[in-house]
Every structure is written in C-alpha cells, then in structure tokens.
Amino acid sequence: MTGQARQALERILALSHRLLAAADQSNLQELALLDAERLRLLQSVRLDRDRLGADDRRVLRQVAELNDRAIGVMEHQQRIKGRAMDMAAVGRRAVAAYSTTRL
C-alpha cells in the first residue's frame, strides 16, 4: 500500500473514533460531517485495496468495529427517544381525558 493510502487509513481510524464520540453525545451534525469525510477517504483507499497488508486489514477491522459500535449507540438512542415520545403521547392523552373533569 502506498504511503498516502496508509496515511488515509490512519486518518479514517481517527475519524471513526471521533464519530463514535459524536454518536455518544448525540451530535448528529458532527456525526454527518465526520461520516462524509470518512467515506471520501475510504473511497480513495479503495483503489489500493489489492495491496492491503495485514496491518492495513487490522486498521479496517478496527474501523468496522467502531462503525458497528456507533450504529449501536445511535439505535439505542433512537429507542430511548421513541420511548420518551410514547410516554409524552400517553401524558397528552391523559391530560385530554381528564381536562373535562371538574372538581
């Protein structure tokens, strides 16, 4: 693998760590920017994929693992927000049901 591609892989790994941190903080704007930059770099490395060494494959496995973790974090946060929305809807229905009742 070329030196430039190896540097891109290291940058991709660093971006993946930042992407996981952004997912943990629910920072969707930063998450989107980091993912776009990472995708651009991954596409540039794709041209050298036939020359990947063991270390390069290790880095790509780490990137895939971090990506899976970030997806898991976002799915978990989505479920939490969905549950909160469900509970808010229950509360609104209760208020509507009891608002016509007077003491």
| Confidence (pLDDT) at 1 | 64
Each residue of 59-101: pLDDT tens digit? 999 999 999 999 999 999 999 999 999 999 999 988 888 887 6
Question: Is 59 domain-assigned?
Answer: yes
Each residue of 27-67: pLDDT tens digit? 999 999 999 999 999 998 886 667 778 888 899 999 999 99
Cα separation of 20 and 32, whole Å? 12
| Confidence (pLDDT) at 31 | 94
Q: Which two tokens stand for residue 10?
A: 């290291």
Question: Is 103 domain-assigned?
Answer: no
Model confidence pTM above 0.85:
no
* Residue 63 amino acid letter: V
Domain total in the chain:
1
> What's the N-to-C CA distance of the chain in angstroms?
78
| Confidence (pLDDT) at 103 | 59
Cα separation of 80 and 34, whole Å? 24
Question: Is 35 domain-assigned?
Answer: yes
| Residue 70 structural domain | 3-98
